[in-house]
Amino acid sequence: MPDFKVVTEVAGRICALPVEVGGHVGDGDDIAFVEAMKMEIPVTSPAAGKLTSILVKIDEMVAEGQVLAIVAT
């Protein structure tokens, strides 16, 4: 099973993580929300599969292009 990286396109603060490790996610499902410029930007799964790890925590600052989670298909 290949692993897919869930990457943020914006820098900001992690304000929500609506899924848990071990849960199933669909292609395009929200994995995290990044607060940037007073907006909550969703970060979505690039593929359907099982969420194997979340690499960030709530209130953590992230950079553009940072890997936030891993999804195994």
pTM: 0.93
Domains of the chain: 3-72 (2.40.50.100)
Task: Please give the structure tokens belonging to residue 49.
Answer: 């599969």
26: number of CA atoms within 13 Å, CB side?
Answer: 2
Determine how many CB atoms are found less than 10 A away from the CB of residue 29. 18
Instruction: Summarize pLDDT for 29-56 with one digit per residue, the tens.
Output: 999 999 999 999 999 999 999 999 999 9
What percent of the chain has pLDDT above 90? 97
